[in-house]
Amino acid sequence: MKYKVYKKDEEWRKILSPEQFKVTRQKGTEPAFTGRYHDCKDKGVYQCVCCGAELFSSDTKFDSGTGWPSFHSSMKSENVAEQEDISFFMKRTEVHCSQCGAHLGHVFPDGPQPTGLRYCINSASLKLEKK
């Protein structure tokens, strides 16, 4: 897939922490309840830590009890892409930044209304622009 923002791994390593690189560029997952945003109540826009694309609004964030930031919808659907993930012997839907390809987390059909979705996102893939 071709992205608007492209960098080689060595370039990403220069601007991302080791954990951010592992999560966003290597499809890693941070341990539950350890990310800086899992219980954050600040208002603002959650952006992609790699390219700054606007992904989620704090207005759609909810406490899912899973230990990761959860949102019932994306802020700009054109900035969040989905693809099937069959790793670890299960079938899930991965979400990634459509601007740079950063792995964000997964989306599940067990969220609250109005969408019924739960975007379960790694804090390491986000930066909060407070409002």
Quick check: is 120 catalytic? yes
CB 24 within 8 A of CB 58: no
Tens of pLDDT, residue by residue over 41-96, are: 999 999 999 999 999 999 999 999 999 999 999 998 899 999 887 776 778 899 99
Could you give the CA distance from residue 31 to residue 44 in angstroms, rounded to a whole number?
24
CB 128 within 8 A of CB 46: yes
Domains in the chain, start-ordered, CATH in brackets?
9-130 (2.170.150.20)
What are the tokens at 72? 């019932």
Q: Which of 48, 97, 100, 120 is catalytic?
A: 120
Helix (H, G, I), strand (E, B), or coil: what is residue 98?
coil
CB 8 within 8 A of CB 14: no
What is the reported pLDDT for 87? 75
Mean pLDDT to the nearest integer, 2-10: 89
What is the reported pLDDT for 1? 63
What are the tokens at 45? 């826009």
- Identify the CA nearest to 77 among candidates 55, 94, 101: 55
Tens of pLDDT, residue by residue over 17-46, are: 999 999 999 999 999 999 999 999 999 999
- CB neighbourhood size of 118 (10 A): 21
Q: How far is CA 57 from CA 53, 107, 129, in A?
A: 12, 16, 10
